[in-house]
Each structure stands twice: as structure tokens, then as C-alpha cells.
Amino acid sequence: MTIERGVPLARMTTLGVGGPARAFARPRSVAELTEALRLAQAEGLDVLAVGLGSNLLPADEGVDALVLRLEGELAAVEIDGTVLRAGGGAANAVCLHRARDAGLGGLEFACAIPGTAGGGVRMNAGAYGRDWADVLAQAQVVTADGDLWLRADELGLSYRHSSLLPGQVVARVDYRLAPSSADLVRAAVRELVAQRKATQPTNKRTCGSVFKNPPGELGAGAMLERCGLKGHRIGGAIISPKHANFIENAGAATSADCVALMVEARRRAHEEFGVVLAREVVFAGLPELPAVA
């Protein structure tokens, strides 16, 4: 396993922003992943698994961390009866296709989440009323000290949250699915994809949903739209004219531009609705958003 230095993260994020990583590795097995985590521990580096980079905002100045992209057997997908075992680096689209071909349903909602199995566990990702907690049986979690399998009820899954700590990386995921048919899965996915394309900027460079939906009936996107923020631009970043909870790279955007938009969005939402929006996008090398007065 090669450890690279100074690898630009902009090319690894769907938004296309971010400076270099202090260290970067592509582990292909649990043994290599453990080795990488021990190296990070020895060098005093934070650990960041990037997946497909779809929910990530790295600092323009770079990230003082060991950044990991899981490959090889850590991105493989296997079927055993109604259980789908995926490497933490397996793309959700690949998992969904394998489930469909095996006549298994339950993962259809993941067609709206352009990430990986491991990232889905870490943030309990979800869409259209379902999330990872609905389909997850167990996950193999690796640290510098070794690995262990944790059941779904041991992972502290709640809305866009898990109890996984920094330095813990999801190596494998077991999904417990239900018998279905390829035609039924395909039809459900077709309907969900059509909904997504109709409401979200799927043809633009974004980092996915920026803020978590607050309690209540009004979601973050609707709230920010009522604040008149659709199309609001700072530098090369713009709040999507299609969905106000997305930030688009409108040309040479920087992480600083995106953070400035987030600060303004939170200010206006608090001013208009008395709500402090919590970010959903993961910060890397960035300070937390300032408190809303």
C-alpha cells in the first residue's frame, strides 16, 4: 500500500473544492486498512474516509489528515441469500444494482444517495422516508487496534447520525434485504430517480444536502427558499435555484465561498424562523460554523 503526500482533494469531491491531503492511501483489505490507521496514529494524524466525496467540504488550505479511499475487497459486493455484504467503499449504485439482479428489495431509496456503504453507516444516510437503520444488519468497524463487528443497534443510529468516532472506519456492511423482483426494484428506482431529478440539481456539482432538516413540517430547503435564498451567490458558489438546500459550484468555487453561503443561510433562517440549522455536510480542516446570534 502506497502512502501519497499532498494529494489534491478537489478532484475527489463532487463539489470540486478542497486543498491537498497531508497523506492519502487506498487500502484494499482489512489488514491494509489497519496498517494505515496505525500509521495515522503514529504520525498524530486525523483520519478521513472520503468515499465518493459527495458529502464533503475540505478546507481550501488542505487537510492535516490521512485521507482514505477504500478499494479492492473493501469495495466489493457479495450476495448470500437475503444478505448483501458490501465493502465500506462500495458505491451505493453498485449495491443497488447487485440487489436488483439478485431479486432483493429494500435498498431502492439509496438511488438518491450518491455515496458509499460505509458513508451511509457513518451518517445514517437516508432519503424518501428510509435510512440505513432500516436495512443495516451489522458493520465491521476497523481502528488502529483491530476490528470488530457491530450490530445496527450498537451503532447509535439516529437522524443523519451514528455513534462512530474519529479513527473508526467502516470496512464492511451487511444489509438485510427482502425478496423482490428485478422488475419491481427497477420500477421503484425509476420513480424515485424521476422525483430526484424534478426537485434537485442532479446535473450540477454539489455536495448534496447542506443542512439537516429541522424538527417540524418545514424542511431546510423550503425554509431557505422562503428566505429568498435561491440563486444567492458568493464568489463561485451559488445556492441552487432548483433546491435551496444545495450549493452548486458555479465556476471556480472555493470552500470559503461555500462556508460564507452557509453562514448567511443560517443567519437568515434564524432571523426568519428562529431555527438554527445544523449542517449535514462533513467539514474537513474547517472550523465549525459560528454561532447564530
Active site residues: 160, 209, 280
Provide the b/e sequence for 257-277 (b: ≥16 CB within 10 Å).
bbbebbebbbbbbbeebebeb
Contacts of residue 162, defined as CB under 8 A and 6 or more positions apart, other chains included, come to: 121, 122, 123, 124, 155, 156
* Closest of 263, 256, 259 to residue 277, by C-alpha: 263
> Hey, what's the cell of 28?
484494499
What whole-number distance in Å separates Cα of residue 236 and Cα of residue 127? 28
Is residue 167 within 8 A of residue 143, CB to CB? The reply is yes
| Radius of gyration, CA atoms only, the chain | 19
198 burial level (CB within 10 Å; 0-12, 13-18, 19+):
exposed
Query: At 259, which amino acid appears?
Result: V
